Structure 1
Amino acid sequence: MIGITGVTGHIGNLVAQHLTSQDFPLRLLARSPQWVAHFPKATVMQASYENTPATVQALTGVETLFMVSAKEHPQRLQQHFAMIDAAKQAGVKHIVYLSFYHAALDATFTLARDYKRTEDYIIAHGFDYTFVRDNFYGEFFVDLATQYHEFRAPAGNGKIAPIFQADVAAVVAKILTNVSAYRNQIVNLTGSKEYTLADMSNIFTNYLNTTVPYIDETVAEAYQSRQAWPAEQWEYDSWVSTYTSIANGENAGISPDVQRILGRPAMTIEAYLQQR
């Protein structure tokens, strides 16, 4: 039995679509089951990122768990630990965890540190594991360009190879259908092409037929500009470090793993825009 969290979100839903089309029995776990789409051969159970009897019951009988990270929150790491503890009590054997590219305790991107701590907790508790580390999503940059018509960030000339969610879901589904082949492995997911934000500025200027400038902010300017959105300090830190991590080269590089697993290259920004 395969368990899937995050099924009311985009990645979890897409993974469930892939697997149900291949006739795999699924256990779909959701805080609000009423919002889960119907899938044949899938059982929906209420579960949250807590170590409660309800969560343990929902996980009982699941051999492989696809664990999407919880919503960004000050207690997200503790929520991850609680879910992992519940999975251990329920007898889950293998966790496929949706982590982050360059997850490290000293990562510039503040949230990437919690991804690494979650990975370490999974290993420490004796699970077989597959860590799917995806780069920033391509959809994020598409939304910035189409909604705000600019890239304003302290990213310098750093490069990034963004990955699109459809490719992430396809890879995860492939792993879940043959999980033993990916036992205790790290899978890095990037797009098949690197870009600076200046490159993206040119692409979206042409696509939208209007100027989409790249304003290379200082870190101080980035914090100041984001004060337009009321938030807590940890959120401002994560927003700004999204871009300083790019400037530091931590999101650069093209992984061969999408090609290796799917037998095709990952989608580029240009290809994504052509199909919109």
Structure 2
Amino acid sequence: MTIAITGVTGKVGGQLAALLSQQGIPARHLARSPERAPKYANATVVKAAYDDSAETVEALKGVETLFMVSAAEHPKRLEQHFAFVDAAQKAGVTHIIYTSFYNAADNSVFTLARDHAKTEQYIIKKGFTYTFLRDNFYLDFFLDLCQSNGEIRGPAGNGSVSAVARQDVAEVGACILKAPEKWANQTLDLTGPENLTMTDIVRAVSEKTGEMLTFIDETVEEAYQSRKRWPAQDWEYDAWVSTYTAIKAGEQTGVSSDVESVLGRPATSLRDLLNP
């Protein structure tokens, strides 16, 4: 079986690539900039983009199972996904494992989740065997906010999120790639082992670091205004703010056992991540 993975220069894809190498699983690594991709003895790096070009089709030829890490946030990300799926179909790929988003739906409060829902629908429409890994927000993201900003701010209220560790997602991916047929046409919810409010997160990080971190529960209007210090497009501001409104709306709460079902161990908790 020939497998290919995308996103190898990113965080989740990069961790997955390293795990596959450590486990001796050969893979084809697809990268827009191959020179940036890590080099492994049992992997080949091939140039490919999220498009339907002849180059990308050629890069996918001979691949049976494709691990498709969602493309970078972009106003045309959905078009890129559709084109890449089309290229995979032309190349003869039969199974796509796609990193989607927890509770993805056409009307999700988190704006970027809508693209994930449409991508899932398109993969099914095109007749692929599929495995959808619906990651919740990453625990690492909230820790980065605490460490970089000394606070978390946003209109999340008392809403909670069952955030998942990136490493868990990569480990699940590596496990599934060992026997993808076992996970054919399944949707897995990848969450952490607990629901956490923003207050829970800053409290846990404060206890670990000894620094007094805070959660500032902004209004939606305040959230947009506070983010104006970073030059961005409107769709980016919408995504940043809806991260928190989705949590407040309850769309990111709910603990799944799917990580444990795949890995045979509990999902990584916030305290586990803080105390490696």
The answer to whether TM tops 0.5 is yes
Residue in 2 that maps onto 1:49: 50
Residue in 2 that maps onto 1:112: 113
Farther off after superposition, 236-245 or 205-214: 205-214
Farther off after superposition, 22-31 or 91-100: 22-31
Whichever residue aligns with residue 250 of structure 1, its letter is E
Farther off after superposition, 245-254 or 206-215: 206-215
Residue in 2 that maps onto 1:92: 93
What do residues 53-108 of structure 1 show as CA deviations (whole Å, max 9, x unaligned)?
Answer: 10000000000000011111111100001100000000000000000111100100
User: Percent of counterpart pairs with the same letter?
Assistant: 52
Could you say what secondary structure the match of 1:39 adopts? coil
1:268 aligns with 2:269: yes
Distance apart, 1:161 and its partner CA: 1.2
2:129/2:185 contact within 8 Å kept: yes
Residue in 1 that maps onto 2:167: 166
Instruction: Tell me how far apart the structure 2 counterparts of residues 204 and 174 of structure 1 sit (CA, whole Å).
Output: 30
Instruction: Tell me how far apart the structure 1 counterparts of residues 151 and 65 of structure 2 sit (CA, whole Å).
Output: 42
What do residues 148-182 of structure 1 show as CA deviations (whole Å, max 9, x unaligned)?
Answer: 11111100100111111111000011111110111
Between Structure 1 and Structure 2, how many residues are aligned?
275
What TM-score does the superposition give when structure 2 sets the normalisation length? Answer: 0.98
2:51/2:83 contact within 8 Å kept: yes
1:6 aligns with 2:7: yes
Residue in 2 that maps onto 1:240: 241
Instruction: Tell me how far apart the structure 1 counterparts of residues 205 and 30 of structure 2 sit (CA, whole Å).
Output: 38
Gaps of 5+ in 2: none
Residue in 1 that maps onto 2:139: 138
Distance apart, 1:201 and its partner CA: 2.0
Whichever residue aligns with residue 225 of structure 1, its letter is S
Instruction: Tell me how far apart the structure 1 counterparts of residues 40 and 211 of structure 2 sit (CA, whole Å).
Output: 42
Instruction: Tell me how far apart the structure 2 counterparts of residues 217 and 14 of structure 1 sit (CA, whole Å).
Output: 34
Instruction: Tell me how far apart the structure 2 counterparts of residues 41 and 203 of structure 1 sit (CA, whole Å).
Output: 40
What TM-score does the superposition give when structure 1 sets the normalisation length? Answer: 0.98
2:205/2:274 contact within 8 Å kept: no
Residue in 1 that maps onto 2:228: 227
Whichever residue aligns with residue 96 of structure 2, its letter is I
Distance apart, 1:214 and its partner CA: 1.1
Could you say what secondary structure the match of 1:201 adopts? helix
Whichever residue aligns with residue 59 of structure 1, its letter is L
**Aligned-pair Cα RMSD in Å:** 0.9
Residue in 2 that maps onto 1:178: 179
